């Protein structure tokens, strides 16, 4: 069978459809407080699909650019590459956020593009930390279109070090 006849992929994780997630969910934006009020959210629409799961070392969210992009495929590849580096490191630190404030730095980052995609259309970014030991974490991620096509895979190795006590958590009624 010729190589172009092969077409299989991992199944998209089961998550709520983006249409079921309100545009702004206070307190559960990927990246927690740092990304919620950053310039990133002015150019990207981020909607948490699961709010992050520290026990399973994963987080998933829907993402797209807020504005329509030109039809140049390279522009969409560049935008997706940028998006891929926003939250992988924080996924590795999910289980440790209640223990300490973490200093996190990317050591390496790779992206594999499987199919053409548009960064201005909804993509599910499913991330999972496969290992954390010796102050390093390894995270993989996958981008899926709304109809379940795997368009890109990413891997990132991060350096993680505790630098202080965990940040204080304030409840909405705290004063």
Catalytic one of 106, 108, 129, 146: 106
Separation between Cα atoms, residue 153 and residue 140, nearest integer Å: 7
Separation between Cα atoms, residue 135 and residue 131, nearest integer Å: 10
Q: Would residue 106 show up in a list of annotated catalytic residues for this protein?
A: yes
Q: Would residue 153 show up in a list of annotated catalytic residues for this protein?
A: no
Catalytic one of 9, 53, 85, 146: 85
Sequence-ordered strand ranges (E) for 53-149: 58-65, 101-113, 123-133, 136-145
Q: Would residue 84 show up in a list of annotated catalytic residues for this protein?
A: no
CA distances from 138 to 109, 151, 161 (A): 10, 21, 14
Write down the residue that tokens 């309100």 correspond to.
22
Report the catalytic residues: 85, 106, 156
């Amino acid at each position: 069978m010729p190589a172009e006849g092969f077409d299989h992929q991992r199944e998209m994780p089961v998550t709520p459809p983006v249409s079921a997630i309100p545009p702004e969910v206070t307190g559960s934006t990927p990246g927690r407080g740092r990304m919620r009020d950053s310039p990133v959210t002015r150019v990207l629409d981020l909607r948490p699909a699961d709010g992050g799961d520290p026990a399973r070392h994963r987080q998933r969210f829907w993402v797209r650019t807020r504005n329509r992009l030109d039809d140049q495929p390279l522009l969409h590849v560049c935008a997706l590459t940028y998006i891929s580096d926003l939250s992988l490191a924080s996924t590795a630190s999910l289980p440790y956020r209640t223990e300490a404030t973490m200093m996190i730095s990317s050591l390496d980052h790779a992206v594999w593009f499987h199919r053409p995609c548009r960064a201005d259309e909804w993509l599910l970014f499913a991330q999972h930390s496969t290992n954390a030991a010796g102050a390093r974490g390894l995270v993989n991620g996958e981008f899926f279109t709304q109809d379940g096509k795997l368009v890109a895979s990413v891997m990132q190795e991060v350096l993680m070090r505790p630098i202080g006590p965990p940040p204080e958590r304030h409840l909405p009624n705290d004063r």
